[in-house]
Homo-oligomer: A and B are copies of this chain.
Amino acid sequence: MSQTPPPRLAYVSGQLLPEDDAKISIFDSAVMLGNAVTESTRTFAGQPFRLEEHIRRLYRSLKVARINPGMTQANLLETTLEVFEANRPLLKAGDDVWIVHNISAGVSIPGSNPQQSHSATIMIFTAHLDLRGWAKFYREGCHAVTSMSRMIPSQALDARIKNRSRMAYTLADSETRLVDPDAQCVILDIHGFVAENKGGNIFAVRDGELLTPTSENCLEGLSRQTVLELAGKLGFPARETRLLPYDLYTADEVFFTSTPYCIMPATKFNGLPVGDGQVGPMTKSLLQAWSELAGVDIVAQALAQLG
């Protein structure tokens, strides 16, 4: 006799709630002011990957956003692991999850002062790592497309404050889907340099060297950091620099990095093939090295979801 599985549980400011009941007030500053910072960590083979570092970065974001979370990094780590463990029974063999933190400045009273006046709202949840939207790209590569809108400059809001005021990213992304419904966006900064992919980072390979934008105009991603470390181990020269669309047009390889998919090859850029139009050898080596580091065949796991 089949049994309904128990629901996934999410943590909201002290309570573990079934996902459907995980709600916040419409007066929360996350809703009213987009005043929330965030991190997304993934697991590999059921183990959180670089979770402490994600939490460390989260606290940097909180500081600069002037949000007082009301709990220490150690508490948050402990709580996070409790949320994860509470949901572990739901994890099927071979599957992994996202662990997402959203911390807002709490309820906001409409009025003259938008600064934090209530306890922070702490949201922690694990989400099924649905890789179906990206899985085929490991083999074929995706289509990277430049958006028409440009990145919010750091003097207005530094992308390294990983935050939930993300409308500009969503709009830039929507523009590139006019070119290709599966397009992955390449957002330029206001001077025309390559910045990021709505939260993910971008790498180009040129003459055997790995190139990625500095963190002047993009998030300093931990996946980006992992790639730079893997490149070091593999002996690939790597450099943080300023890239222009020309550098992507003429690159031998291009890929994105982000928490869920780790490394996503791009084989087309604005309608033109990248290199020979195939996923390149350095991209493959880095993916392979990451799989070894994580103890999970990243590509196989994603392809398995396609059934």
Q: Given A26-B12, A127-B110, A216-B242 in contact, is the A164-B33 Cβ separation under 8 Å?
A: yes
Instruction: Evaluate contact between A134 and B112: CB separation under 8 angstroms.
Output: yes
Smallest Cβ-Cβ distance to A100: which chain B residue: B110
Since A146-B175, A155-B192 are in contact, a sample of 18 more A-B pairs with Cβ atoms closer than 8 Å, ordered by chain A residue number, is: A19-B27, A23-B23, A27-B125, A33-B170, A34-B165, A60-B249, A66-B174, A66-B272, A98-B110, A110-B130, A145-B178, A154-B244, A156-B156, A157-B168, A161-B167, A161-B246, A178-B179, A193-B216
Give bound CA distance, A190 to B191, whole Å: 8
Smallest Cβ-Cβ distance to A156: which chain B residue: B152
Q: Which of B109, B148, B149, B163 contacts A130 (CB 8 A)?
A: B109
Instruction: Evaluate contact between B26 and A102: CB separation under 8 angstroms.
Output: yes
A12 partner residues in chain B, CB cutoff 8 A: 26
Instruction: Evaluate contact between A167 and B165: CB separation under 8 angstroms.
Output: yes
Instruction: Evaluate contact between A167 and B35: CB separation under 8 angstroms.
Output: yes
A177 partner residues in chain B, CB cutoff 8 A: 113, 115
A98 partner residues in chain B, CB cutoff 8 A: 110
A168 partner residues in chain B, CB cutoff 8 A: 152, 156-157, 165
Contact of A160 with B by CB under 8 A: yes
Instruction: Evaluate contact between B156 and A150: CB separation under 8 angstroms.
Output: yes
Q: Given A31-B24, A34-B34, A188-B155 in contact, is the A171-B66 Cβ separation under 8 Å?
A: yes
Which residues between 226 and 259 of chain A lie within 8 Å of chain B, taking CB atoms?
241-242, 244-246, 249-250
Contact of A10 with B by CB under 8 A: yes
Contact of A153 with B by CB under 8 A: yes
